[in-house]
Amino acid sequence: MAKYKSSSISDKWKKTNWLLEQGDLRKHVPHTETFDRKNLFSMLSKYSTVYFKPTHGSGGAGIIRINKMNNGYQTQFKKEKSFFSTADELYHMLSRFSNKRPYLLQKGIQLAKTNGKLFDIRVMVQKTKKGEWISTAVFAKIGSPGKIATNYNQGGSLGLFQPTLTGAGFHSSSIQNTEEALKQLGVSVAKNFDRHLKGFQELGLDVAVDNKEKLWILEVNTRPQIYPLKYLKDKKLYHRTLSYAKQYGRLK
């Protein structure tokens, strides 16, 4: 594990609540609840897609997508799909799957697509030597066809921000505004985290852009990976994030 010092927190429920406490961030957080029978039934009555995700987990592991169908519920775990005709059957399967570990339920956001593939955005936020937060990289995580997570280690790929949004049908002025909004969101979230726990040097926000161009914070990673940026043709983002990381002792 990394030798550099930067606070880390794996509890997604705690991180969600930090964001919900702040009015300007709350509107960017999809409806999220802890998993139990009552919350599952309530979420299924409100939304056509719900994500079931481990409270402690990273890299898109252990996530199940639930889609409401006319005659029941379809789940997808990795590439495997199953069908349940009642919410009760679904609840029992999810309970067995969770095996008493804490899980969250999150409203599914209709992700925008670039050239037919789902994508979300990673905003890398890092602290400067002077202790100021700066959004150093904004890039796309493009999903592998058939997978429910866009993560690199789930077979996804990385894309530069502008071409990805162009491929999603965004106009150039809209792309510029969205990038600026994402950078501001990154700094705002970092300041929020700093108020709750000292010692953060870096954060990676996973942000969904829906088909109405609204930004949704899906998750805030306190141990974001830099190395996948190496595989972009343009290495500028990789060198930029690494140059900031070296200031707080991170070398890769």
DSSP string, 45-86: HH-SEEEEEESS--TTTT-EEEEEETTEEEEEETTEEEEESS
Residue 167 above 50 pLDDT?
yes
Domain ranges of the chain: 32-107, 111-247
- Per-residue model confidence (pLDDT) at position 154: 54
Three-state secondary structure of 119-153: EEEEEEEEECCCCCEEEEEEEEEECCCCCCCCCHH
- Per-residue model confidence (pLDDT) at position 234: 87
| pLDDT band for position 2 (cuts 50, 70, 90) | very low
- Per-residue model confidence (pLDDT) at position 12: 94
Tell me the C-alpha distance between 223 and 95, whole Å: 28
Phi, psi of 201 (to 5 degrees): -115, -20
CATH of region 32-107, choose from 3.30.70, 3.30.1490, 2.60.120, 1.10.4100: 3.30.1490
Residue found under tokens 């719900």: 50
| Cβ proximity of 4 and 246 under 8 Å | no
Q: Tokens representing 98?
A: 């969770």
Residue 149 above 80 pLDDT?
no
Q: What percent of the chain has pLDDT over 70?
A: 94
- Per-residue model confidence (pLDDT) at position 232: 87
Tell me the C-alpha distance between 96 and 52, whole Å: 13
| Cβ proximity of 232 and 115 under 8 Å | no
State the CB neighbour count (10 A cutoff) for residue 214: 11
Residue 150 above 60 pLDDT?
no
Residue 87 above 60 pLDDT?
yes
| pLDDT band for position 148 (cuts 50, 70, 90) | low
Query: What number is the average pLDDT over the span 137-153?
Result: 73
Q: If residue 220 lies in a helix (H) or strand (E), which one and from where to where?
A: strand 215-221
| pLDDT band for position 65 (cuts 50, 70, 90) | very high
At 118-142, the pLDDT tens digits run 899 999 999 999 999 999 999 999 8
Q: If residue 16 lies in a helix (H) or strand (E), which one and from where to where?
A: helix 12-20
At 182-234, the pLDDT tens digits run 999 999 999 999 999 999 999 999 999 987 889 999 999 999 989 889 888 88
In whole angstroms, how far apart are CA 73 and each of 70, 78, 108, 146?
Answer: 8, 16, 14, 18
| Cβ proximity of 111 and 214 under 8 Å | no
Tell me the C-alpha distance between 252 and 170, whole Å: 33
At 7-57, the pLDDT tens digits run 999 999 999 999 999 999 999 999 999 999 999 999 999 999 999 999 997
Through-space distance between the first and last CA atoms of the chain, rounded to whole angstroms? 11
- Per-residue model confidence (pLDDT) at position 1: 41
Phi, psi of 85 (to 5 degrees): -80, -20
Residue 156 above 80 pLDDT?
no
| Cβ proximity of 231 and 241 under 8 Å | no
| Cβ proximity of 165 and 178 under 8 Å | yes
CATH class name, domain 111-247: alpha beta
Decide which of 73 and 100 is more confident: 73
The set of residues, in sequence order, having a beta carbon less than 8 Å from that of 136 and lying 6+ positions away, is: 124, 125, 126, 240, 241, 244
